Amino acid sequence: MIKVVAINGSPRMDKGNTAMIVAPFIQGMTDAGSDVELFYTRRLKVKPCTCSEMFCWYSEPGECCIKDDMQLLYPKLREADILVLATPVYIPLPGDMQIIINRLCPLIEPFLETRKGRTRARFHDNVKIRKIVLVSTGGWWEKGNFGTVVRIVEELAEDASVEFAGAVLRPHAFLMKKEEELTKDGKAVVSAVRRAGYELIKEGGMNRETLETVSHPLISEEELRHRYNKALEK
Ligand X SMILES: Cc1cc2nc3c(=O)[nH]c(=O)nc-3n(C[C@H](O)[C@H](O)[C@H](O)COP(=O)(O)O)c2cc1C
Contact between 24 and ligand X by CB under 6 A: the answer reads no
Contact between 90 and ligand X by CB under 6 A: the answer reads yes
Reading phi first (left if > 0) and then psi (alpha if -120 to 50, else beta), residue 133 is in beta
**Which of 1, 91, 112, 231 forms a contact with ligand X (CB under 6 A)?**
91
Per-residue mark of binding to ligand X, 123-152 (x: CB under 6 A):
--------------xxxx----x-------
SS3 of 89-101: CCCCCCHHHHHHH
Q: Nearest approach, Cβ of 7 to ligand X (angstroms)?
A: 13
Contact between 41 and ligand X by CB under 6 A: the answer reads no
Tell me which residue of 40, 9, 38 sits closest to 26, measured CA to CA.
38
**Which of 5, 6, 17, 201 forms a contact with ligand X (CB under 6 A)?**
17
Q: Are 213 and 21 in contact (CB under 8 A)?
A: no
Q: What residues have CB less than 8 Å from 181, skipping those under 6 apart? A: none
Tell me which residue of 4, 7, 65 sits closest to 36, measured CA to CA.
4
Contact between 18 and ligand X by CB under 6 A: the answer reads yes
Distance, CA of 69 to CA of 71 (rounded, Å) = 5
Binding span for ligand X by CB under 6 A among 16-24, 53-61, 98-106, 108-116: 16-24
Q: Nearest approach, Cβ of 225 to ligand X (angstroms)?
A: 12
Total residues binding ligand X (CB under 6 A): 17
Contact between 182 and ligand X by CB under 6 A: the answer reads no
Contact between 173 and ligand X by CB under 6 A: the answer reads yes
| Helix (H/G/I), strand (E/B), else coil: 107 | helix
Residues of this chain that interact with ligand X (CB under 6 A) are: 10-12, 16-18, 88-91, 137-140, 145, 173-174
